[in-house]
């Protein structure tokens, strides 16, 4: 469903599993930091709301969105988190740079999911302008960080349910 028709922060709270025993890594791009930090705050607060202890949320920064995939891989290889959330923001410019960054991060996150058999959650905003990013980072369309946190919790729960 298009974001324009949905608030990213509206969900059925009772459909989300308890996350008190889950550990999360969050990779945040420094580029467009006002947007990415708002996404982080949404994810962090949502994880805590569903029982995650602060000490079980591991955060790192990377310079830009292209570096999100390596940052996520480094967390997977060097921590014991159950899922990794990647948060970035790429705003369309006048060159094809937008296309290359978005494509690279999308493919990179897909590859990490399969390589590590662990949820890597795509929280990259790909917007046409700054206002669209603001609208999706706590603005009128909610916060994509909330959605990424919920997705991480549900994917950990799915994986754990299939392992038992």
Give the pairing type, strands 142-143 and 137-139.
Answer: antiparallel
- Give the SS3 label for residue 51: coil
Looking at 26-143, list the stretches that DSSP marks H as alpha helix, in order from N- to C-terminal side.
33-49, 68-78, 97-116, 130-136
Secondary-structure class of domain 22-163 per CATH: alpha beta
What does the mean pLDDT of the chain come to?
A: 93
| Of 100, 74, 68, residue with least CA distance to 87 | 68
Residues 6 or more apart in contact with residue 154 via CB below 8 angstroms: 16, 17
Q: What is the pTM of this model?
A: 0.93
Beta bridge partners of 25: 58, 84
CA nearest to 119, candidates 149, 97, 93, 90: 149
User: What confidence tens digit (pLDDT) does each residue in 46-101 have?
Assistant: 999 999 999 999 999 999 999 999 999 999 999 999 999 999 999 998 888 888 99
> Active-site residue 50, yes or no?
no
Cα–Cα distance measured from residue 109 to residue 128, given in angstroms and rounded to the nearest whole number: 21
- Indicate if the pLDDT at residue 3 is higher than 60: no
Could you say which of 97, 103, 128, 160 is catalytic?
97
């Amino acid at each position: 469903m298009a974001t324009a028709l949905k608030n990213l922060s509206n969900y059925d709270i009772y459909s989300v599993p308890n996350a008190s025993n889950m550990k999360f890594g969050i990779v945040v791009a420094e580029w467009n930091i006002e947007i990415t930090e708002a996404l982080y705050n949404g994810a962090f607060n949502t994880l805590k709301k569903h029982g995650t202890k602060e000490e079980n949320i591991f955060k790192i920064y990377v310079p830009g969105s292209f570096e999100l995939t390596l940052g996520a891989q480094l967390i997977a290889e060097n921590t014991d988190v159950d899922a990794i959330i990647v948060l970035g923001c790429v705003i369309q410019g006048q060159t094809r740079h937008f296309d290359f960054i978005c494509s690279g991060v999308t493919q990179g996150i897909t590859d990490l999911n399969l390589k590590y058999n662990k949820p890597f959650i795509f929280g990259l905003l790909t917007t046409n302008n700054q206002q669209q990013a603001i609208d999706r980072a706590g603005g009128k369309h909610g916060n994509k960080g909330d959605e990424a946190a919920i997705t991480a919790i549900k994917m950990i729960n799915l994986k754990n349910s299939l392992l038992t």
